[in-house]
Structure 1
Amino acid sequence: MTGNDVLIATFNDHTEADAAVRKLIENGFDMKHFSVVGKGYHTEEKVVGFYNIGDRMKIWGKYGAFWGALWGALFGSVFLTLPIIGPVVVVGYLASIVVSAVEGAVVVGGVSALSAALFNAGVPKDHVIHYETALQANGFIVMANGPAEEMARARAILQAHKPARLDLHEGATPANEVPVASAL
C-alpha cells in the first residue's frame, strides 16, 4: 500500500453512497481497494440483529439491503462503537486496519479506532476530524486507495455523484509503524 493515493468522498445518505459504489463496480474497479463507513445500520428505533454467514456479516434493519450489497462486493467488515460517534459499520479494506488498531492497543487518549485506522491508511491527521464529523452527522464515507491513475479515474466517477466532500490525498504513505496516539 506504499506510495498510493487515498481518495475519500463523504455522502449525506446511503442512497448517494450506494449509487457511487455501484458506478465504481460498473467501471471495473478492484473493490479490494475500497471501503464504506457509516452509521446507517439502524432501524427506526434500534438494531434488529446481526448474524454471520460464512465470512460475511448480515444485518436486518432499515439499511440491511444497502449493507448486504456492500458485504457482497467489498472484503472484510467490522461493527464497533466509537466514542462520540456511536455505532459504526466499516466494510472493505479499512475494516482490517480498524481491527488492527483496536487489537494493537494503539487507541488511547481520546483517539478512536477509526481515527487511528484512517491515519494508518495514510490520511493526514488534519483531515481525519472531517470524516468523523461526517459520520457523526449520519453521513457515509467511500474510501479508496491505489495508484494515482486509478484514483484519478475513481475521483471523476465519485465527483459525478456530487459528494458533500471529495478529497484526494496524493502519495499517502501508510503509518503502520507510527504509534497513532502520539501521531495524532
Structure 2
Amino acid sequence: MYDELIHVPFIVKPPAEYDTVDAIEDLTAYLDIGPTFLDLAGTSAPDEMEGQSFLDALENGKTEREAVISEYANSGKRITSRRTLEWKYILDDYHDREELFDLTTDSTEQTDCSTDRPEVLESFRDAVRERMSHEEFDTDASFDDDVDEEMRQQLEDLGYL
C-alpha cells in the first residue's frame, strides 16, 4: 500500500469545451472514475456509488476528498491504507503490523513514525477500522489454487503477498 504501488497516473481527455488543468494534485480514488464519467455524460451517480465526481477538479485542480482508502485482501487477510495529503497509515494483517508516515517530511515512506505520533496513529486506525466494520469480507476468498510457486514468489517479491 505504499505510493510506489498505488499512486498511478490516470489520464482523462474531457470534451473540448472543458478548460482543464495539467494535473490534479489533490486526492482522487478509483471509486471516483464512475461518478466522474457519469457527470461528464450529464447525469448524476446513483446514491449507492461511493465515489465522488472530480469533474470540477479537471478545471480547478482541487477535489473535495479528504482521504483515500486502498485495500488488498486474500486468504482471509488484508492490507488497508488510509492516505491524506499529509499522512499515510497502513494496517497490514499479513505481517501483523501498522505503519504511519508523515508525507510532508517523508514522501517516499521510509520512516515509520507511529510511535512518535500516537494521536495521529489512533485517529487513522479508528477511521480504517470504522470503514472495515461496514464491509463484507470473505475470509474464505483465496486464489492460492490458481497461483504456481514461481508466480507466488514474484508477487511476494513485489510486496503483494
Instruction: Provide the TM-score with structure 1 as the length reference.
Output: 0.26
Q: Which has the larger radius of gyration?
A: 2
Instruction: Provide the TM-score with structure 2 as the length reference.
Output: 0.28
Kindly indicate which of the two structures has a greater share of residues assigned to helix: 1
Higher relative contact order (CA 8 A, sep 6+): 1
